[in-house]
Amino acid sequence: MVEDRIRLEPSWKAALGDEFDKSYMTTLRQFLVREKQARKVIYPKGANIFAALDLIPLDDVKVVIIGQDPYHGPQQAHGLCFSVQPGVSQPPSLVNIFKEINDDLGTPERTLDDKHGCLLPWAQQGVLLLNSVLTVERGRAGSHQGRGWETFTDRIVETLNTSQSGLVFMLWGSYAHKKGAIVDRNRHCVLSAPHPSPLSAHRGFFDCGHFSAANRYLEDNGQTPIDWFRVE
- The residues carrying an active-site annotation are 69
Bridge partners (DSSP) listed for residue 63? 127, 168
Which residues neighbour 35 within 8 Å (Cβ) at sequence distance 6 or greater? 42, 137
- Per DSSP, the residues of 145-172 read TTSSHHHHHHHHHHHHHHH--S-EEEEE
Q: Which amino acid is at 153?
A: T
CB 151, CB 16: distance < 8 Å: no
Residue 92, Cβ neighbours under 10 Å: how many?
12
